[in-house]
Amino acid sequence: MRFSYEVFPPKTAKGHETLRRSMHELQVIDPTLISVTYGAGGGERERSFSSVELANDHAGCPVAAHLTCVGMSVDEVHAVIDHYLDLGITHIVALRGDPPSGIDAPYQPHPNGFQRTDQLVAAVIERAQLRGQSITVSVSAYPEKHPQSPTLSHDIDVLAAKVEAGATRAMTQMFFDNSTFLALRNRIAQRGLEVDLIPGIMPIHSFEKSVAFAQRCGASIPSELLSHFASAKGDAVAEREQSITWTQRQIEALHAEGIDEFHLYSLNSSQLLCELVSAIRGNQHV
């Protein structure tokens, strides 16, 4: 069983140091990959670059840099791609990105930018080829309907366009109900798409915050999850133990369905992920 994890660019020097320390501590899980999210604004963009360089120096594993279409012209996107290639990045996670006003706001492409993510995928591959460099492109996938998508079928159409443009991996939005991931896997197979599907797993750092975030993303909250955490309300230690138990069961159930690779949303914290992976690897032969 293999694990990768996601981090985001910190906004302060203290956060930067916390992230550096977390990267070192997470080497114990032998990650296959660290992905670094991307901020499109000027200051956020520089923080993204700094965090990618930090990961290059301290994560001890390959680095995947996120890139979005939000708020940038085609020329600006090309410049970011070239910068990542200059850093030796060989894996980019190409995303549309959320509007600055939030996930619920209508998406407005930059007037001189890419209109769709498949165009971004193609641009990443083209820029790498022009430089004679190899590149892997991952994209997003949604076990449950994207909040702005009309149907699940439309979501598959969008994913198909990204795969046809050259994406070879799809990492999913967080989910708590495994049946939604397995249904997505079936839809992809029925469509005949050749893409590695990686489940995105959110270990619950804070139950209330995780539930609120899931609701904003359109991820359903199983009644079993609510029951599981009911006894831990107000008890941080009990909540942490319940989080490890729940997420371990979720991952092991997916592993029983033939899933071997998992992408963990770390929130820049190492302890919960280290404890989770240790519990999983210490449990029989998984």
Q: CA 275 from chain center: how many Å?
A: 20
| Extended beta strands in the chain, E state | 2-7, 34-36, 63-68, 91-95, 136-141, 169-172, 196-198, 200-201, 261-265
- Measured CA to CA, the distance from residue 163 to residue 161 in angstroms comes to 5
Q: Which residues are catalytic?
A: 6
b/e 111-143 (16+ beta carbons within 10 angstroms → b)? eebbeebbbbbbbbbebbeeeeeebbbbbbbbb
Calculate Rg over the CA atoms of the chain.
18
Nearest to residue 173, comparing CAs of 211, 145, 154, 151?
145
Identify whether the C-beta of residue 203 lies closer than 8 Å to the C-beta of residue 245.
Answer: no
